[in-house]
Amino acid sequence: MSDPAAPTALPGRNDPCWCGSGRKYKRCHAGGERGARGHPARETAPHPQRIAERIKPGRISPTREVPADIPRPPYVDNNGVPPQPRRPVAPQQPDVLARMRRAGRAAREVLEAVGPHVEPGVTTDELDAVVHEHALGLGAYPSPLGYHGFPKSVCTSVNEVICHGIPDDRPLAEGDIVNVDVTLYLDGVHGDTSTMFRVGEVDAEKERLIVATEAALAAGIEAARAGAPLRDIGRAIQGVAEAERLGVVRTFVGHGIGTDFHAEPTVYHYDEPEATLRLEPGMTFTIEPMLNLGSWRHVLWEDGWTAVTADLQPSAQMEHTLLVTEGEPELLTATDATQPPRDRR
């Protein structure tokens, strides 16, 4: 639905910023953006149509209940805060890996179950209900629920929302794209995976963005080899993104995972020279590149979670949890019906 009050020019310095952050323009975008390599870039506001069509917060339904017999991750009983800092990098023990394979496959099964429900008129809150019920049916706890206060069981990020979108009562519309990010806690470990869904027919640019993001994930996975520096993953992803003239989000990254939802290492999706860690067999982490049709910059909504592109251009994300081996990386969030992503361009 269009917004008749959408601005057609840049606001005054003390007016609310056009991006919807809630901050004054002078403290948000008036200083201009900087490109991915730190070079000054000419400041531009989104096209008025993009402002009018931007995603807006909807109504969030009450938190869904989890039966008492479903084991919870430790942070649930600690006001959503993990009771210990991020663990250092270390190869996983065989018993942990066995459990991670089960949790990872379960997460992917739940993600695939969402697909048939993604259609015009369906709300993201309804998608949350699908994830919640499927997770409980597998005896798993939906990891996002209660994590640092997150109120829902899954993240749903539509169009210009980069990540951490909170499911609400906004119905999906023809031509939307939506990332559904599922993490399950099962047998004492987490499995984390996400993919993009098309709502009906999408335009050529959104399709190009999705295909390129899938290719970037494939490149990052291929680079995750024992003995290679962690930097190689981000370098491979950035190479795909730059070839397609896409922005690579920098603030949000991949992460170690296992008994903790988030652990070391930090997995950059761009070429970070300081990412010198050498990968070892047994390491487990997520790779989850977020690519934008425009600027790599983001703005955070007042809810403290929802990150949107600064120029309101669409964003896409793909994610797998993987295990570094002596040879090809093993995807822990793959099912028999899920083939590793390949460059289909």
Q: What is the DSSP string of 172-208?
A: P-TT-EEEEEEEEEETTEEEEEEEEEE-SS--HHHHH
pLDDT at position 53, please?
A: 63
Q: Which two tokens stand for residue 317?
A: 């994300």
pLDDT tens digits, 212-250: 999 999 999 999 999 999 999 999 999 999 999 999 999
pLDDT at position 149, please?
A: 96
pLDDT tens digits, 37-95: 333 333 445 655 555 568 889 999 999 999 999 999 999 999 999 988 887 788 999 99
Q: Which two tokens stand for residue 223?
A: 């680079």
**What average pLDDT does the segment 257-282 reach?**
96
**Which of 172, 161, 178, 188 has its CA nearest to residue 123?**
172
Phi, psi of 287, rounded to the nearest 5 degrees: -120, 125
Hey, what CATH topology would domain 86-331 get?
Creatine Amidinohydrolase (3.90.230)
Dist CA 17 CA 28 (whole Å): 7
Task: List, by residue range, all CATH 3.90.230.10 domains of the chain.
Answer: 86-331
